[in-house]
Amino acid sequence: MRTDRKFDETRTVKITDHYLMSPQGSVLIEMGNTKVICTASVEESTAKHLAGTGKGWVTAEYAMLPGSTGTRKKREKGKADGRSVEIQRLIGRSLRSVVDMEKLGERTIWIDCDVIQADGGTRTASITGAYVAMVQAMKWMKDQGLIDQLPVTGYVSAVSVGIVEGETLLDLCYTEDSQAKVDMNVVMTDRGEYIEIQGTGEESPFSKTELLELLDLGSKGCSKLHEIQKALLCE
C-alpha cells in the first residue's frame, strides 16, 4: 500500500520552462524523483520523404544519461539501443498526432529528451515535457514571423498506470513498476482522446474490468497534466 499518496494521485509534478538558453523550446520536467530535460530545436528543412510537399515533421530522440540510474548506464555511441528507439518513436508519434504539418511548413522540430534521473515513468514524463517544449518552439517561430499561427490541434500528456498487489495505481515509481502485475502507459489529448495505450500483463492476464479501471486512472492523470501544461503555456 502507498504511504506517500493515494492510489489515484500522481507524484509531485514540476515543469520548469525555458530551462536552457540555446534551444527554441526547453523544459525540465520532474515527476517525483524522475527528471527529464526536454528540448525542441527548429531546423529549416523537412524530412526527406516530405521534401516538396509543403509539410513539416516532428521527430524525437531519447536517452538516459550514465548517472540517471543506480548503476552507471553506458552511453549510446553511434546507435541507440532497442529500448531507446522504441521510446523515441513513441514520443514522436504522440507529438505528431496533434501537429498540423502543413501549417508547420517545410521545417523539422527536433525533440530531445534526456533522462538525468530515473525513478519510473521516464517515457511518459518525456512526452508531457516534450509537448511544452515543442509549443515553446512554435511560439518562437510565430514571434520570428515564420508561421502565422501555432500548428497544434490540442494538448498531449502521458502517464503510467498499473496493478500492484491487487491495487490499481496511477503514476508508478520504479519500485511499484518493478512489482506490477500489469504495467500500462496511456497517452491522451486534452479532449479525452487516446493517442496510444501500451499495456502488458507482466505476470498474468488481466480482465476487461481491470483494463477499464486503468484507463479511467490514466484519464484522470492526463487531465491533471494537461492543466499544468495549460497554466505554463498561459492558456
Q: pLDDT by residue (tens digit) across 101-110?
A: 999 999 999 9
Query: Quick one: pLDDT at residue 87?
Result: 96
- Consult the annotation and say whether 11 binds a ligand: no
Q: What is the band of 55 on the pLDDT scale with cuts at 50, 70, 90? A: very high
Query: Quick one: pLDDT at residue 56?
Result: 97
Query: Quick one: pLDDT at residue 235?
Result: 59
- Consult the annotation and say whether 89 binds a ligand: no
Interval 144-163 mean pLDDT: 97
Domains along the chain with CATH numbers: 13-232 (3.30.230.70)
| Burial (0-12, 13-18, 19+ Cβ within 10 Å), 145 | exposed
Whether the CB-CB separation of 50 and 106 falls below 8 Å is answered with yes
- Consult the annotation and say whether 121 binds a ligand: yes
Q: What is the band of 100 on the pLDDT scale with cuts at 50, 70, 90? A: very high
Angle at the Cα of 28 (from 195 to 31), degrees rounded to 5? Answer: 65
Listed residue (235, 189, 184) closest to 212, CA to CA: 184
Query: Quick one: pLDDT at residue 40?
Result: 98
Query: Quick one: pLDDT at residue 215?
Result: 98
Listed residue (5, 1, 3, 11) closest to 160, CA to CA: 11
Interval 166-172 mean pLDDT: 96
CA dist 188 → 7, 148, 191 (Å): 20, 26, 8
- Mean pLDDT (the chain, rounded): 95
Whether the CB-CB separation of 34 and 177 falls below 8 Å is answered with no
Q: What is the band of 146 on the pLDDT scale with cuts at 50, 70, 90? A: very high
Listed residue (77, 55, 75) closest to 64, CA to CA: 75
Task: Report the side by side order of strands in the sheet with 156-164.
Answer: 167-170, 156-164, 182-189, 194-201
Interval 64-93 mean pLDDT: 87
Q: Which residue has the higher pLDDT, 164 or 79?
A: 164
Whether the CB-CB separation of 106 and 45 falls below 8 Å is answered with yes
Q: Judge whether residue 169 has pLDDT over 90.
A: yes
Whether the CB-CB separation of 123 and 72 falls below 8 Å is answered with no
Cell numbers representing residue 103 in the block = 501549417
pTM over 0.75: yes
- Consult the annotation and say whether 25 binds a ligand: no
Among residues of the chain, what percentage have pLDDT more than 70? 99
Q: Specify the amino acid at residue 1.
A: M
Question: Considering all CA atoms of the chain, what is the largest pairwise distance in Å, rounded to the nearest integer?
Answer: 56
Interval 127-155 mean pLDDT: 97
Helix ranges (DSSP H) in 43-81: none
